[in-house]
Structure 1
Amino acid sequence: MNSNLHEWSIGFIIGQTYRKMLNVLTSRLKEHDMTPEQFSVLCRLHESDGISQKEIADRTVKDQPTTARILDCLIRKELVRKQTSATDRRSFLVYLTEQGRHKLQVLMPIERQTIEDIFSWMSESELEAFRQTHLRLIAHLDTLLKP
C-alpha cells in the first residue's frame, strides 16, 4: 500500500475531484468574465427570480457575506438588480436583468458541455449510479449536521 495515506482517503479524493471539476468549468467561463459561483447565483435566479439574498445563500450553499460579495459583483456587471421587498422594507429581492438573462443563455450551453465532457467516459448507468450515490451521501451528511 502507498505510504501517502491521503491518496486513499475518500474525503481527499472527493475534494480533489471537486477542485479539478471546478477548475475545468472556471477555465471555460473565464473568457465570459464569469466565475462558477456567479454562474450558480444566476442559475438560482433563473429558477426563481425575485428571491432574497438569504434564499440565494441557502440555495447556493454559501454563507451570507460570500453571497453579498457575489451579488455586488453581479450588480456591477448589470446582470442582476436588487429591489426592496414590498412586504419587508428591511429585505431586498434580487432579480435577473435582461443582460443577465442573455448572459445565462450564452453560459448554460458551456456548462452543459463541460459536464458532458467531464463524464463522457462513463456509461449512462454508471453516471446514474454515481449521481444516486452522491445524493444519498448528501442526504446522510444533512442528518449528521442537524442538532
Structure 2
Amino acid sequence: MLGLDDTLTFLINRASTLARQEFEGRLRKFDLTPAQWAVLIRLSEQDGLNMTELGHLLYFDKPTTTGVVNRLVKKKYVKKVKNRKDRRVTHVFITDAGKEALIPVEPIINFYSENFLKDISKEEYDSAKNVLKTLIRNIKAVDNI
C-alpha cells in the first residue's frame, strides 16, 4: 500500500496549495486574487471571450466566473459587453487599467517561475507537464463513465 506522501494526487495537491498560498500573499498587495489575475492574463491573451468560454478555459464554474468578472468590472479592469446577435451571451474585455494592473505583477510571476522550477530540467518539466495533462484527461474520462 502506498503511503500518503507517495500518492501522486496528494503531492500534486500539496504543491498546488503551497504555490497558491505563496502567490495569494504576494498578489494581495496589488489588490488581486489568483483567480482575478488568471482572468486578466487569459483576456490579455484572448480578449473578448464570452463568460462560458472564459470559465471553461480557467476551469471555473459559472458562479465563480461571474463573481470574479463582476469584481474586476468594479475595479474597472474588465468590461462586459452583450453580444448583439444573442443578448444572453456576454463577452468580457480587458481594459487599459486591467493591462496596467498586470505590469507590476509580472516580475513576481517570473520570480516564482524561476524559483519554483530551479532544480527541474527542461526535460523533467516537459515530462511533468505531459503527465499532468494525461492525468487530467484520465480523470475527465472517469468522470464521464
TM normalised by structure 1 equals: 0.88
Question: 5+ residue gaps in structure 1?
Answer: none
Identity among equivalent pairs (%) = 27
| Separation (CA, whole Å) in 2 of partners of 1:21 and 1:111 | 11
Question: 5+ residue gaps in structure 2?
Answer: none
With 62-71 and 84-93 compared, the bigger mean Cα shift is at 84-93
Per the alignment, residue 80 of structure 1 pairs with 78
Shift, 1:71, TM fit: 0.8
1:112 lines up with 2:117 in the alignment: no
1:46 lines up with 2:79 in the alignment: no
| Separation (CA, whole Å) in 2 of partners of 1:18 and 1:72 | 26
SS in 1 for 2:79: strand
SS in 2 for 1:95: strand
With 30-39 and 112-121 compared, the bigger mean Cα shift is at 112-121
Shift, 1:18, TM fit: 0.8
| Separation (CA, whole Å) in 2 of partners of 1:85 and 1:109 | 35
Per the alignment, residue 37 of structure 1 pairs with 35
Which residues of 2 match residues 1-147 of structure 1 at below 5 A? 5-147=3-145
Q: Deviations over 1:96-142 (max 9, x none)?
A: 11100111233233223212211112122222222221122222223
Shift, 1:36, TM fit: 0.8
Shift, 1:13, TM fit: 1.6
| Separation (CA, whole Å) in 1 of partners of 2:127 and 2:4 | 25
| Separation (CA, whole Å) in 2 of partners of 1:20 and 1:80 | 29
TM normalised by structure 2 equals: 0.89
| Separation (CA, whole Å) in 1 of partners of 2:19 and 2:38 | 14
Shift, 1:77, TM fit: 1.0
What's the Cα RMSD here? 1.9
With 91-100 and 126-135 compared, the bigger mean Cα shift is at 126-135
| Separation (CA, whole Å) in 1 of partners of 2:104 and 2:132 | 28
